[in-house]
Structure 1
Amino acid sequence: MKKLLLIVSAMALLSGIAQAQNPIPKGTTQINAGFGLASYTVPVYFGMDFGIGHDLSIGFETAFQDRNDHYTAWSFAGNCNYHFNRILNIPKNFDFYAGGSINAIAYHYDYDYVDRETGLFPGIQVGGRYYFTPNFGLNFELRGGDILSGGKFGVSFRF
């Protein structure tokens, strides 16, 4: 009886591990686009992620924000994320990740006292994706450090 229980437990564990996989395997590219959750206005973003290791991805992103009161902002960011699917045994149609970024932000104001401001800012993010098909999903991310601070949501395509 103990042997049977051990065999069944081992098979259950192995089948669970086999179902979990890196959502962005090495050599895979993912395109992300959508809207930000920011104060004053709704920024738009576009980015790409590249699988570089078993649980790692790197990528870039650009975002644009425009307010009616003569304010615009652009953000260009490079990011690195760790995907927790393998260690948390998350099914392959979900993706849970966290990481950091470096953000170059340019603000333009049409006021008499300030014209432009630029700078580099560190950022952090934690997010997730749900894939309806092997190549299409929705994403949601909470973040800080750029014009998308607060969060973002959109679509993801991987190929």
Structure 2
Amino acid sequence: MKIITSICCVVFLNAFTSLQAQAPLGKGNKQLNAGFGFSSWGVPVYAGIDFGIHPDVTIGPQVSFRSYSEKYRDNNGNRIGYSHSIFVLGFNGNYHFNSLLNISKEFDFYAGLTLGYYIWSSPSEYLGNRSSGLGLDAQIGGRYFFSDQWAINVEFGGGTASGGKIGITYKL
């Protein structure tokens, strides 16, 4: 909790000391993304980096982790619980619509695809159908840059967080 509070303080202090924001990333630049997601299988924590390969296109790796529990009653009425975890290694590509739609430089609106490898960990006695493997997801999202380097990011759809994610972006 102290880390989250510290990050929030740095973000808001930087927002008040810098008045010009710029988006999208642009060719040759990099940005870090981190935050929390939402899904039906726990609350993912994610981090990634985007590389600008074209004025309107970014690519980059990302990782996420989440854990969750399931509880059942067996045929004898006994309560059984299983704990699972999911680690995802992903690689995304996004098209940024700012130039095409003439969007203000404080905003960054994008859509793209993420190819990920999902590593499911479940107890050996679990009889469900959770397994590791590749997944292709689509996402749509946006950022609001409140300074030259910092933005708030919201994304819906796939990616490595399933339902979506919310976090911060820092331009390097």
Is TM more than 0.5 here?
yes
| Alignment partner, residue 165 of structure 2 | 152
Q: Secondary structure at the match of 2:157?
A: strand
Taking structure 1 as the reference length, the TM-score comes to 0.81
Say yes or no: does 1:121 pair with 2:140. Answer: no
Q: Secondary structure at the match of 1:70?
A: strand
Instruction: Give, in angstroms, the shift of residue 114 of structure 1.
Output: 5.0
Say yes or no: does 1:95 pair with 2:108. Answer: yes
Instruction: Give, in angstroms, the shift of residue 117 of structure 1.
Output: 2.3
Question: For residues 64 and 107 of structure 1, what CA distance do their matches in structure 2 show?
Answer: 10
Say yes or no: does 1:142 pair with 2:143. Answer: no
Instruction: Give, in angstroms, the shift of residue 144 of structure 1.
Output: 2.3
Long gaps (5+) in structure 2: 1-21, 70-81
**Which of 75, 78, 94 is the aligned partner of 1:81?**
94
| Alignment partner, residue 131 of structure 1 | 145
| Alignment partner, residue 56 of structure 1 | 57
| Alignment partner, residue 9 of structure 2 | none
Q: State percent identity of aligned pairs.
A: 43
Contact 2:23/2:107 (8 A) holds in 1: no
Taking structure 2 as the reference length, the TM-score comes to 0.75
Question: For residues 121 and 33 of structure 2, what CA distance do their matches in structure 1 show?
Answer: 26
**Structure 2 counterpart of 1:98, which letter?**
A
Contact 2:139/2:158 (8 A) holds in 1: yes
Deviating above 3 A after TM superposition, structure 1's stretches of 4 or more consecutive aligned residues are 113-116
Question: For residues 64 and 113 of structure 1, what CA distance do their matches in structure 2 show?
Answer: 20
Instruction: Give, in angstroms, the shift of residue 113 of structure 1.
Output: 3.9
RMSD (Å) for aligned C-alpha atoms: 1.8
Contact 2:92/2:159 (8 A) holds in 1: no
The verdict on how the C-alpha distance between 1:155 and 1:22 changes in structure 2, with shifts beyond 3 A counting, is closer
| Alignment partner, residue 83 of structure 2 | 70
The verdict on how the C-alpha distance between 1:56 and 1:100 changes in structure 2, with shifts beyond 3 A counting, is same
